[in-house]
Amino acid sequence: MHSIRRKRGYAFLRSARFLSRFRKSTEAASFSGNRVELFRHGGDFFPAMLEGFNSATSHICLEFYIIRNDRIGDLFARSLAEAAGRGIPVHLIYDYIGCLETPAAYFRELEKAGVRCVPFNRPPFRKGLGWFDRRNHRKYACIDGARVFLGSLNIGDEYAGFGESVGTWRDVGVRIDGAVAGEFLRMFRETWAEETGTPPAGLPAATASPPGTGAAHVMVVNGAPHHTHSFIRSSFRMAIAGAAKSVRIITPYFVPGPRVVRSLLRAAMRGVRIQILLPAISDVPLVNIASRAYLSPLLKEGVEIYERKGTVLHAKVMLIDGCWATLGSANLDFRSFHRNYEVNVIVDHTGFGTQINQMFDEDLSRSGRITLEAHESRGWFERLLERLCDPIRRFL
């Protein structure tokens, strides 16, 4: 099996047998004929998304984990208010915990402008603090049931630039036009109904698939804590298991757990080149400490691990064999696997994969490699901190 994969390369990922197993393990929705555009930086993503709001003709629905009351948050609110003022139904789900620092007046003003807003998981204090662990970590905008903007970008100034300073993060997004947008509309309607008890007014119950305008095959993996097992984790593990030549990973939070580590080790042992890009500077330093415990076995098996310098790395991308790209809201950590509502897309398109490869190479040129020798020589205090993180890794 391994020799067959090495000879055929990415053809294995496209085989009927592999795709059938992948969809069964992840419950992925699958769509052909999509057009995909990569935005390598938030400074490219946000102007395109705001222009999408301005050109909407039917409806706009959005889910975002964090929405800040800053410059980009103001542009975001004004664009949505203008769309609502044109008579476009606009529905927004924001995470209550993620937006704790955003004044309630921000959402009240949106409501006054005609944008229907729902906080995800508003705290039921009478039930104690169990609600706190349930988050909607998705980040996407679906427009007219025909195009979708998504990635790892929240709404805030730090996400909206070109990522070469600590105040301007390194992030990535994508626009997809085609039938896949209908799955995001379906997912949005489902989440809205779960939170409010009623379907969103003004949105179609279903959307007809627009004619195919591109060559990309796209799958959507929807993760939620009520699923019997983690579809997000399964999608990562199966993609790694299908790799014949290469696995390239960009992730800001690397607390993958033993199953994902085993998948990476198996791939490395059958000759797959694995490169993992982590942040040198993290917005959650505790996660950086916790991630160190997973590096030794990977480094010993020849996995290349790098740290991106000069900015906070927030992008979440995995590329298999140069053609099978996964990106979206999910991190390689327990929270994304088991506790968050997440959404990732898998884009199967050689041209798109080439763009991801070029982006990875650019980030690699700004990174330093972690060697096994340097990692093993870290001090006793750092090792102590790693051990202290053991009991809380599943909650990071």
What letter does residue 210 receive in the DSSP assignment? P
Same domain as 1, residue 21? yes
Per-residue model confidence (pLDDT) at position 206: 67
Same domain as 194, residue 224? no
Same domain as 105, residue 206? yes
Q: Which alpha helices (DSSP H) does the chain contain, by range?
A: 2-8, 16-26, 42-54, 71-85, 104-112, 180-196, 231-241, 257-269, 285-291, 295-300, 334, 350-364, 372-376, 380-388
Same domain as 333, residue 315? yes
Nearest Cα to Cα of residue 248 among 306, 169, 161: 306
Residue 170 lies in a domain: no
Q: Please pick, among 41, 59, 91, 137, the residue that the annotation labels catalytic.
A: 137
Residue 242 lies in a domain: yes
Rg over alpha carbons for the chain, rounded to the nearest Å, is 21
Does residue 316 have an active-site annotation?
A: yes
Task: Find the domain containing 111 and state its range.
Answer: 42-161+179-212
Residue 172 lies in a domain: no
Does residue 321 have an active-site annotation?
A: yes
- Contact yes or no for 198/64 (Cβ under 8 A): no
Does residue 245 have an active-site annotation?
A: no
Same domain as 306, residue 202? no
Q: Please pick, among 314, 338, 348, 349, the residue that the annotation labels catalytic.
A: 314
3-state secondary structure of 77: helix
Please give the structure tokens belonging to residue 351: 């041209």
Instruction: Count the domains in the chain.
Output: 2
Residue 166 lies in a domain: no
Same domain as 143, residue 187? yes
Residue 171 lies in a domain: no
Per-residue model confidence (pLDDT) at position 7: 45
Does residue 44 have an active-site annotation?
A: no
Does residue 144 have an active-site annotation?
A: yes
Per-residue model confidence (pLDDT) at position 238: 96
Q: Please pick, among 59, 91, 95, 144, the residue that the annotation labels catalytic.
A: 144
Give me the tens of pLDDT residue by residue for the chain, a chain 396 residues long. Answer: 454 455 455 678 888 889 999 999 999 999 999 999 999 999 999 999 999 999 999 999 999 999 999 999 999 999 999 999 999 999 999 999 999 999 999 999 999 999 999 999 888 755 555 566 789 999 999 999 999 999 999 999 999 999 889 899 999 999 999 999 999 999 999 999 999 999 999 888 766 566 667 999 999 999 988 767 899 999 999 999 999 999 999 999 999 999 999 999 999 999 999 999 999 999 887 877 778 889 999 999 999 999 999 999 999 999 999 999 999 999 999 999 998 999 999 999 999 999 999 999 999 999 999 999 988 877 766 766 666 666 655 665
Give residues with Cβ within 8 angstroms of 134, minimum separation 6. Answer: 121, 225, 339
Residue 240 lies in a domain: yes
Query: Residue 95 pairs with which residues in a beta bridge?
Result: 120
Per-residue model confidence (pLDDT) at position 158: 97
Residue 168 lies in a domain: no
Q: DSSP per residue over 131-163, as a string?
A: GGG-EE--EEEEETTTEEEEES--BSGGGSS-S
Residue 130 lies in a domain: yes
Pick from 193, 212, 231: which residue ends a domain? 212
Same domain as 367, residue 265? yes
Does residue 226 have an active-site annotation?
A: no
Per-residue model confidence (pLDDT) at position 4: 46
Same domain as 231, residue 145? no
3-state secondary structure of 8: helix
Q: Please pick, among 59, 139, 217, 349, the residue that the annotation labels catalytic.
A: 139
Q: Please pick, among 95, 171, 321, 348, the residue that the annotation labels catalytic.
A: 321
241: phi then psi, degrees, rounded to nearest 5:
-65, -30
3-state secondary structure of 95: strand
Same domain as 108, residue 2? no
Same domain as 243, residue 356? yes
**Cα four-point dihedral sign 277, 281, 282, 287:** positive
Question: Which CATH number goes with the domain that contains 82?
Answer: 3.30.870.10
Same domain as 227, residue 185? no
Same domain as 189, residue 69? yes
Q: Please pick, among 316, 333, 348, 349, the residue that the annotation labels catalytic.
A: 316
